[in-house]
């Protein structure tokens, strides 16, 4: 419930201007305007928030301070003796990560007949997939095409996406939707069975398929059921803390740590799939996050220490609409679908200051400018915010639209006495997605032979900015791709003697570089949690 007089006064201005604002369609910014805006206000451009990596495959490149400390960090195995001669587990394919990408990979590897094991530091399904709300893109309507989808995503990503990866993403999207639907995902449909699709920021066609505003939870529910129904072994509360190689330098398993008692295990594998997700819980630049508790960039650390190159690790996505009020949900995702359905971004004076469906980086930068430079933000207990005028949805779409299409949003704010059908909500950008990650080729393999990567840990699919709904899509397309290819590759792999020599070699390089920071990595859990070791 809004009680602060300053907030109430501003809300009255929003209400007074609503009848006029709702008729507006603010113009899109020109390419030049966007470039200037991003350079001045997007957090990726704040040079003081980045460090130059001194060691490892990306030495010389800039990454956020927090990530630099982890990538160049000290191994959890430093000073520990690990006996690799008698592995606790011996499988064809080891999947590290229990989110949507890991689950999709496991299902396909199982389908191909491989002996698999999934390990996850929390529980199966505790992942950013579960938190995704607004939908998944696929060009499967008559007025659309994968080529159109490619152009939208390529432009939205500043023409930096790896073209072969993006091509795979968009061309395999329609089949990914069918696969999910056949597995049991309850996509929103019209009475005749046609799937309902909406726009997202930067899309030229309506191609967002959704399960109301809990699309990720619905997809994860289905994938988790599929993994469990297939009796695929899953080790919960078990983190991978280093990769293992064989005597040819190929990836050959991982050292695992039981999160409850700190015990170590050795998992030998012919191929490994890293599907460890994102990094929001590193809270870059002090931003709140929409991410799951376990999003601490672990896969990037493991792969980097083993010699894999990262692509675009300096680019992050700040979702324009994180909840800015009340404090209990600070940083939580307010799905872009709220804007797809017609809500507009309004400043403290009641002005519609931008087109609500600009791409995410542009929208976030524009909101930051409105608050920081133009002085048009609403003061909140946690900082500043702008309004997202949700009652416009019912004006444009008819009474009942909010309850039908975005019930989770209605419930999230309703718990705190805010009825989003009648009152606007306060939002500010929240750390949402890691655009960069581990470099892969289109078979899903990293620079390290037999190490595959899928999901948010991959860099390059989306370039330097991702469009809404292309992440739920990439976890499916690239998760399945990694699962199939890792299983196929495993058939021809003979694993040599296991070693973790790269860990000692990296430590020697660290010491040679005289790095002052002795951060231990991978981090596994955010700063506000303790790990028992
Ligand atoms: O792709 C996403 O990040 C997504 C669907 C988020 C959202 O706004 O709902």
Helix (H, G, I), strand (E, B) or coil at 26: coil
Share of the chain above pLDDT 90, in %: 97
Residue closest via CA to ligand 1's atom 3 equals: 468
- Parallel, antiparallel or unpaired: strands 458-459 and 437-439: parallel
For the chain, domains (ranges, CATH) are: 5-41+317-431 (3.90.700.10), 89-315+435-499 (3.50.50.60)
Cα separation, 149 vs 139, whole angstroms: 6
Residue from 208, 333, 434, 477 to probe ligand 1 pocket by mutation (most atoms less than 8 Å from CB): 333
Asked if residue 296 has pLDDT above 70, the reply is yes
The closest alpha carbon to 428, from 382, 471, 375, belongs to 382
Q: Note the Cα 428 to chain centre separation in Å.
A: 18
Q: What is the mean pLDDT of residues 351-366?
A: 97
Query: Residue 105 has which token pair?
Result: 């990979």
Q: Is the CB of 200 under 6 A from ligand 1?
A: no
Centroid of ligand 1 to alpha carbon of 268 (angstroms):
36
How far, in Å, from the CA of 133 to the mean position of ligand 1? 6
The CB of 291 under 6 Å from ligand 1? The reply is no
Dump pLDDT digits (tens) for 98-108: 999 999 999 99
Q: What is the DSSP string of 184-212?
A: T----B-TTSPBPEE--TT-SS--EE-ST
Q: Which two tokens stand for residue 248?
A: 């040819």
pTM of the model: 0.97
Give me the mean pLDDT over the 339-348 stretch: 98
Q: What is the pLDDT of residues 228-243, one digit of tens each?
A: 999 999 999 999 999 9
Residues serving a catalytic function are: 319, 339
- The three-state secondary structure class of 62 is strand
What's the pLDDT at 517? 87
**Radius of gyration for the alpha carbons in the chain, expressed in angstroms and rounded:** 23
Whether residue 530 is predicted with pLDDT greater than 80 in this model: the reply is no
SS3 508: helix
Whether residue 337 contacts residue 210, with contact meaning beta carbons closer than 8 Å, is answered with yes
Residue 132 near ligand 1, beta carbon < 6 Å: yes
Select from 138, 149, 388, 468 the residue to mutate for testing ligand 1; criterion: most ligand atoms less than 8 Å from CB: 468
Q: Which residue in 131, 123, 127 sits closest to 260, CA to CA?
A: 123
CA 326, CA 425: separation in Å to the nearest integer?
A: 10
């Amino acid at each position: 419930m809004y009680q602060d007089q300053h907030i109430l006064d501003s809300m009255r201005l929003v209400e007074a201007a609503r009848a006029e604002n709702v008729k507006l369609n603010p113009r899109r910014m020109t390419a030049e305007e966007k470039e200037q805006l991003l350079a001045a206000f997007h957090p990726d451009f704040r040079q003081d928030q980045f460090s130059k990596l001194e060691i490892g495959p990306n030495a010389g490149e800039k990454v956020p301070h927090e990530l630099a400390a982890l990538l160049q960090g000290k191994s959890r195995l430093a000073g520990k003796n690990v006996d690799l001669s008698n592995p606790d587990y011996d499988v064809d394919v080891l999947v590290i990560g229990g989110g949507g990408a890991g689950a999709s990979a496991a299902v396909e590897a199982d389908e191909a007949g491989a002996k698999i094991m999934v390990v996850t530091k929390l529980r199966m399904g505790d992942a950013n997939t579960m938190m995704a709300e607004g939908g998944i893109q696929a060009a499967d309507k008559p007025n659309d095409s994968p080529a159109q989808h490619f152009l939208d995503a390529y432009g939205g990503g500043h023409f930096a996406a790896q073209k072969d990866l993006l091509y795979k993403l968009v061309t395999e999207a329609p089949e990914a939707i069918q696969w999910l639907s056949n597995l049991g995902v309850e996509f929103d449909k019209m009475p005749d069975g046609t799937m309902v699709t909406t726009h997202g920021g930067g899309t030229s066609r309506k191609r967002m398929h959704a399960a109301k505003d809990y699309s990720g939870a619905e997809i994860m529910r289905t994938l988790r059921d599929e993994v469990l129904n297939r009796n695929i072994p899953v080790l919960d509360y078990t983190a991978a803390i280093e990769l293992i190689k064989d005597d040819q330098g190929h990836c050959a398993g991982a050292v695992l740590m039981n999160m409850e008692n700190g015990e170590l295990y050795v998992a030998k594998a012919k191929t490994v799939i890293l599907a460890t997700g994102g990094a929001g819980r590193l809270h870059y630049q002090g931003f709140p996050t929409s991410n799951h508790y376990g999003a601490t960039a672990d896969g990037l650390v493991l792969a980097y220490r083993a010699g894999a190159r990262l692509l675009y690790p300096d680019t992050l996505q700040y979702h324009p609409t994180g909840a800015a009020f009340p404090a209990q949900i600070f940083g939580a995702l307010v799905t872009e679908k709220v804007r797809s359905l017609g809500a507009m971004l309004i400043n403290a004076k009641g002005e519609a200051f931008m087109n609500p469906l600009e791409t995410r980086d542009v929208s976030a930068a524009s909101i930051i400018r409105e608050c920081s430079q133009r002085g048009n933000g609403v003061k909140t207990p946690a900082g500043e915010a702008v309004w997202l005028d949700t009652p416009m949805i019912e004006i444009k779409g008819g009474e009942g639209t909010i309850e039908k299409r975005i019930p989770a949003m209605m419930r999230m704010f309703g718990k705190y006495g805010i009825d989003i059908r009648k009152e606007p909500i306060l939002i500010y950008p929240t750390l949402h997605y890691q655009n960069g990650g581990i470099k892969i080729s289109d078979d899903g393999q990293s620079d390290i032979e037999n190490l595959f990567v899928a999901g948010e840990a991959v860099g390059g699919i989306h370039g330097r900015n991702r469009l809404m709904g292309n992440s739920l899509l990439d976890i499916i397309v690239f998760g399945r791709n990694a699962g199939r290819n890792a299983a196929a590759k495993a058939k021809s792999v003979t694993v040599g003697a296991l070693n973790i020599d790269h860990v000692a070699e990296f430590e020697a390089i660290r010491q040679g570089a005289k790095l002052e920071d002795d951060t231990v990595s991978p981090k596994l859990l955010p700063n506000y949690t303790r790990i028992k070791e």
